[in-house]
A and B are shown apart, each in its own frame.
Chain A
């Protein structure tokens, strides 16, 4: 089955710093790829997605590019804010079951 490797956290940054959270995956075929975000005490929310190779997903200043050659989908943001503090999950879509496989999550802490 599909699997996901995310960088371990917590990642601690100062406000306005550049963010990268690495994500690599193994999957059959070319799955759609997603990033979800979970704020404290809440469920997960879709952050961005990409459905085919070289697609770039973007939302709220976050970006990720579908890299088929390296099976990666790294999340980036040019200038983080305190309000970005959350746990971020990378997830490929199992094309057979239409089910997401989640990584273990990366906690981001942004300090003022």
Chain B
């Protein structure tokens, strides 16, 4: 979607390696989120941020960390990738001035081999 980009779009990595996914927005929205999408589970919240350097855990945060050093960037790091982290990862942004609906990025497909 316009205003939010994820990188990379696809990545294959080996078990045990660290991986960082990037979400970049140009909308100046306060809230940013990371979700993972897996068959049969819908989307599950990993971490979210409600401002620069303000982050909190979601339901499936184990094995993941995040950082937000500036408004436009929200990084998701898999500290030591495992096969169970093979998934599609979506970033989303939300503006509290509006209706709190999300705008989603196009997703990153991560495969851990």
| A interface residue numbers (CB < 8 A to B) | 1, 4, 32, 34, 36, 42-46, 49, 51, 89, 93, 97-105
B10 CB to nearest chain A CB (Å): 12
From A46, which residue of chain B is reached at the shortest CB distance?
B101
Majority DSSP secondary structure for residues of B touching A: strand
Question: Does the CB pair B107–A43 fall under 8 Å?
Answer: yes
Question: Does the CB pair A89–B101 fall under 8 Å?
Answer: no
A-B contact count, CB below 8 Å? 54
B22 CB to nearest chain A CB (Å): 15
B58-113 contacts to A (CB < 8 Å): 58-59, 90, 92, 94, 96, 99-107
Known contacts A45-B104, A98-B50: A103-B90 contact under CB 8 Å? no
Question: Does the CB pair B48–A32 fall under 8 Å?
Answer: no
A66 CB to nearest chain B CB (Å): 13
- Chain A residues whose C-beta falls within 8 Å of the C-beta of B44 in the assembled complex: 102
Q: Size range of the interface on B?
A: 20 to 34
- Chain B residues whose C-beta falls within 8 Å of the C-beta of A42 in the assembled complex: 106-107
Q: Quick one: which of A1, A4, A43, A98 contacts B31, CB cutoff 8 A?
A: A98
From A4, which residue of chain B is reached at the shortest CB distance?
B42
Question: Does the CB pair A89–B42 fall under 8 Å?
Answer: yes
At the interface, yes or no: B27 with Cβ under 8 Å from chain A? no
From B102, which residue of chain A is reached at the shortest CB distance?
A100
B36 CB to nearest chain A CB (Å): 11
10 closest Cβ pairs, A-B complex = A43-B104, A102-B43, A102-B42, A104-B42, A44-B104, A46-B101, A43-B106, A105-B42, A43-B107, A103-B42
* 23 intermolecular pairs with C-beta atoms under 8 Å apart: A34-B101, A42-B106, A43-B1, A43-B105, A43-B106, A44-B90, A45-B1, A46-B101, A49-B99, A49-B101, A89-B43, A97-B56, A98-B31, A98-B50, A98-B94, A99-B48, A100-B45, A101-B45, A102-B35, A102-B42, A102-B43, A104-B41, A105-B42
